[in-house]
Structure 1
């Protein structure tokens, strides 16, 4: 599970998630959800990210559409 870059009510700084993007501390939550099958196995993925920059940095091209 991912850790939030900025928790509301706490002091935040600019942090770099895994990947090569530097994301702002703007708290604008996004939820990424995937349901289906991959190579015959059921996939159920749901995760909330601090903002869309963090989501794209952590998931790569999966949610770039």
Structure 2
């Protein structure tokens, strides 16, 4: 049941992020030649996205400009551009913050990213041991 509700919420947010800019008056010419880059990011507490209790979801649009409900949209888009949308490479490129010391308490936090990056479908899930470990990544992408 949780999984169904999570997917419904993710799909609703994604539809709003992708289709929202399409509403309104029609323009004679396109505003740019950018491939779509619209993502929905979620964070929840649990071992996996299927079993996690959703805590928060934000939208992030990176083309033609940085926007969405993400609190640091510009820097999150810059980080995505630095890894060309490869979320698995995020830690190796940005590194971890060395000034953060985390406990070994296991209170899993799962982050998901679903949507489109430069015209390509993106689906990403990562589970961190706890909120501190997630914050030590040194990325503003997952800070919401």
Short-chain TM bin: 0.5 to 0.7
Runs of 4+ in structure 1 over 6 Å off: none
- Highest relative contact order (Cα 8 Å, sep 6+), 1 or 2? 1
TM-score (norm 1): 0.61
Distance 1:60 1:36 in 2: 19
RMSD over aligned CA atoms reads: 1.9
Which residue number in structure 1 is paired with residue 121 of structure 2?
A: 42
Which residue number in structure 2 is paired with residue 18 of structure 1?
A: 96
Distance 1:59 1:37 in 2: 23
* Structure ranking higher in helix proportion: 2
Structure 2 unaligned regions, length at least 5: 1-94
TM-score (norm 2): 0.31
Which residue number in structure 2 is paired with residue 61 of structure 1?
A: 140
> Which one has the largest radius of gyration?
2
Question: CA deviation digits over 1:7-27, x for unaligned, max 9?
Answer: xxxxxxxxxx83222211111
**Aligned partner of residue 137 in structure 2, secondary structure:** helix
**Aligned partner of residue 42 in structure 1, secondary structure:** strand
| Contact 2:107 2:130 (C-alpha < 8 Å) held by counterparts | yes
1:25 to 1:48, Cα distance in 2 relative to 1, 3 A: same
Distance 2:138 2:117 in 1: 16
